[in-house]
Chain A
């Protein structure tokens, strides 16, 4: 039990940590026009995906919760770019 739980907590921790890092690096990369940084940020997107998969494959969770987590790690791949677009468009529209 302790083993399962410990892994599950760690995966959850890394999932959001990498998700946050992805968002931050992506935004900085896009702003500064550094394609390399954007590419690095994608690797964090993959890391958060993998950490999420770690939770999905934990034997302890129900099938429904696994499905929800699987969906959210997929969805999260697109969230930072979408949010970035919203911010940029909003500024473009109201600053001109």
Chain B
């Protein structure tokens, strides 16, 4: 076991908090899934809107915390020194956790407010994914600035700027700068959604992808010993493809919100190219797997890293492409199709990445030199989660197809058409299957939690010939 930097201890705090919020995300997801089947469940007490808001907000926050953890873990390794503002970083952690707790309590017990600016500042901003009230927005920006300060400051103090650090710094600047685009009020909903997508799309389909590219690059370097030059060259290829397709791919959200018609073509074209970087990642992952014959000192980290490459391709690539052309999207936009795509894409691209990073950190803290982190529980959680997420995605895809065909293409997109589609037996069955697979996913999470808590107890002695790199 290596001596840990303070920064890495902070990373572990972030990881644990993230994993607990992951549980909260799943819990509120389950409640929402039950309400699709039995709308009277918790009606009036904890309405669908509250559960759903907590479901997606918990996700955004825990993924961000996982990324911050990844940054704090690798930063001292990359620069060879302690992070400069470690005390500030720890302070920011407590402020972040405290703010999240207050926001969640207000969401749970206040739920909504009257139609004025007080509500927007202190209860909810009511904009999907970034509902967090304005005071919390400012807090998030402050935390983000501290992270950015620590990254830049540490690099400067170490007089070392690697290619990976360069990409990280530029990406962080974009990532947190974009958040500001979501912090204003306008009565014009077209303008509102125009900027709202700057945050949501340019995070999820551009800056987060690159951030995960950086973290996965570090992970592969430390886990498999991939040479830095390859990691850096490949990271640049990824940046070129992700930003090259993803920035104007933003256009696929500008088809129907009142924005001009040229977005139909621009969005359709560039978002059709968005699977390209994902194919590239998968091919590289297969190469790495081949070189190392899947042998490392940390099996779960490696397997979650592969799940990331494959899940990203299927969730973002396959499920994204299916409804990205404007001619199709005209009918599928705003149906369960988007939910199907969202579930698999977030899991593949980001959940897997965070779990890989967390397992890697645990391996470093809990497993002695000469031993392999392995065992049965992580495999159960791994397989269970993959079955769960694919099952949910498949169910929601059936629901999405049904809704697109019946509500949109046949009955004409009205209130009544919506009800008729939702009552269709295929749709009702799909929602039941989704709950079943949701339960499987949740049980797998419990196994995962158990494994994370006890990881380090199940180790195997390292046989020298087995491990390459």
Question: Do A and B contact each other directly (Cβ–Cβ < 8 Å)?
Answer: yes
Per-residue interface assignment for chain A, residues 6 to 45, with 1 indicating a CB less than 8 Å from any chain B CB and 0 otherwise: 1011001101110110011001100110000000000000
Q: Does A63 contact B (CB under 8 A)?
A: no
Would you call B229 and A5 a contact (CB within 8 A)? no
Q: Does B280 contact A (CB under 8 A)?
A: yes
Query: In the complex the two chains form, what is the Cα distance from A76 to B323 in whole Å?
Result: 19
Chain A residues with Cβ below 8 Å from B283 are 23-24, 27, 80, 83-84, 87
Query: In the complex the two chains form, what is the Cα distance from A90 to B280 in whole Å?
Result: 13
Would you call B332 and A20 a contact (CB within 8 A)? no
Distance to closest chain B CB from A60 (angstroms): 6
Would you call B313 and A20 a contact (CB within 8 A)? yes
Query: In the complex the two chains form, what is the Cα distance from A32 to B293 in whole Å?
Result: 10
Query: In the complex the two chains form, what is the Cα distance from A88 to B283 in whole Å?
Result: 10
Q: Does B141 contact A (CB under 8 A)?
A: no
Q: Does B282 contact A (CB under 8 A)?
A: yes
Indicate which residue in A1, A8, A72, A79 contacts B272 across the interface (CB closer than 8 Å): A72
Give me 21 A-to-B residue pairs in the complex whose CB atoms sit less than 8 angstroms apart, sorted by A's number.
Answer: A2-B410, A6-B404, A6-B405, A13-B318, A13-B321, A16-B275, A19-B275, A20-B275, A23-B279, A24-B286, A27-B283, A31-B286, A68-B269, A79-B276, A83-B279, A87-B234, A87-B283, A87-B287, A91-B230, A94-B227, A94-B230
Query: In the complex the two chains form, what is the Cα distance from A9 to B337 in whole Å?
Result: 11
Would you call A5 and B287 a contact (CB within 8 A)? no
Query: In the complex the two chains form, what is the Cα distance from A44 to B189 in whole Å?
Result: 44
- Closest Cβ neighbor of B286 among chain A residues: A27
Chain B residues with Cβ below 8 Å from A87 are 234, 283-284, 287
Q: Contacts A8-B328, A9-B323, A87-B287 hold; do A16 and B318 have CB atoms under 8 A apart?
A: yes
Chain B residues with Cβ below 8 Å from A28 are 286, 290
Which residues of A does B touch, CB under 8 Å?
A: 1-2, 5-6, 8-9, 12-13, 15-17, 19-20, 23-24, 27-28, 31-32, 60-61, 65, 68, 72, 79-80, 83-84, 86-88, 90-91, 94-95
Would you call B279 and A19 a contact (CB within 8 A)? yes
Chain B residues with Cβ below 8 Å from A19 are 275, 279
Would you call A12 and B275 a contact (CB within 8 A)? no
Would you call A9 and B404 a contact (CB within 8 A)? yes
Would you call B328 and A9 a contact (CB within 8 A)? yes
Query: In the complex the two chains form, what is the Cα distance from A91 to B282 in whole Å?
Result: 16
Would you call A9 and B282 a contact (CB within 8 A)? no
Would you call B405 and A95 a contact (CB within 8 A)? no
Q: Does B97 contact A (CB under 8 A)?
A: no
- Closest Cβ neighbor of A22 among chain B residues: B279
- Beyond A5-B331, A20-B317, A24-B310, 13 additional pairs, beta carbon < 8 A: A2-B406, A13-B318, A16-B322, A17-B318, A24-B282, A24-B286, A65-B325, A83-B279, A83-B283, A90-B233, A94-B229, A94-B233, A95-B227
Chain A residues with Cβ below 8 Å from B404 are 5-6, 9
Chain B residues with Cβ below 8 Å from A5 are 328, 331, 404-405, 409
Would you call B282 and A20 a contact (CB within 8 A)? yes
- Closest Cβ neighbor of A17 among chain B residues: B318
Would you call A2 and B318 a contact (CB within 8 A)? no
Would you call B276 and A1 a contact (CB within 8 A)? no
Per-residue interface assignment for chain B, residues 308 to 342, with 1 indicating a CB less than 8 Å from any chain A CB and 0 otherwise: 00100110011101110101100110000000000
Per-residue interface assignment for chain B, residues 190 to 230, with 1 indicating a CB less than 8 Å from any chain A CB and 0 otherwise: 00000000000000000000000000000000000001011
Would you call A12 and B409 a contact (CB within 8 A)? no
- Closest Cβ neighbor of A25 among chain B residues: B286
Query: In the complex the two chains form, what is the Cα distance from A34 to B386 in whole Å?
Result: 28
Q: Contacts A24-B282, A83-B280, A95-B230 hold; do A16 and B317 have CB atoms under 8 A apart?
A: yes
Query: In the complex the two chains form, what is the Cα distance from A90 to B234 in whole Å?
Result: 9
Q: Does B401 contact A (CB under 8 A)?
A: yes
Q: Contacts A8-B327, A72-B272, A83-B280 hold; do A2 and B409 have CB atoms under 8 A apart?
A: yes
Would you call A9 and B313 a contact (CB within 8 A)? no
Query: In the complex the two chains form, what is the Cα distance from A31 to B230 in whole Å?
Result: 18
Would you call A6 and B401 a contact (CB within 8 A)? yes
Q: Contacts A5-B331, A65-B325 hold; do A32 and B290 have CB atoms under 8 A apart?
A: yes
Q: Contacts A20-B313, A24-B282, A31-B287 hold; do A9 and B401 have CB atoms under 8 A apart?
A: yes
Query: In the complex the two chains form, what is the Cα distance from A72 to B272 in whole Å?
Result: 9
Query: In the complex the two chains form, what is the Cα distance from A85 to B346 in whole Å?
Result: 30
Query: In the complex the two chains form, what is the Cα distance from A12 to B322 in whole Å?
Result: 5
Chain A residues with Cβ below 8 Å from B287 are 27, 31, 84, 87-88, 91
Distance to closest chain B CB from A41 (angstroms): 11
Query: In the complex the two chains form, what is the Cα distance from A44 to B275 in whole Å?
Result: 17
Distance to closest chain A CB from B367 (angstroms): 27
Query: In the complex the two chains form, what is the Cα distance from A87 to B280 in whole Å?
Result: 9
Query: In the complex the two chains form, what is the Cα distance from A56 to B18 in whole Å?
Result: 45
Chain B residues with Cβ below 8 Å from A72 are 272
Q: Contacts A5-B405, A20-B282 hold; do A12 and B321 have CB atoms under 8 A apart?
A: yes
Would you call B229 and A20 a contact (CB within 8 A)? no
- 10 A-B pairs with least C-beta separation: A31-B290, A27-B286, A2-B409, A94-B229, A13-B322, A2-B405, A16-B321, A16-B318, A1-B409, A12-B322
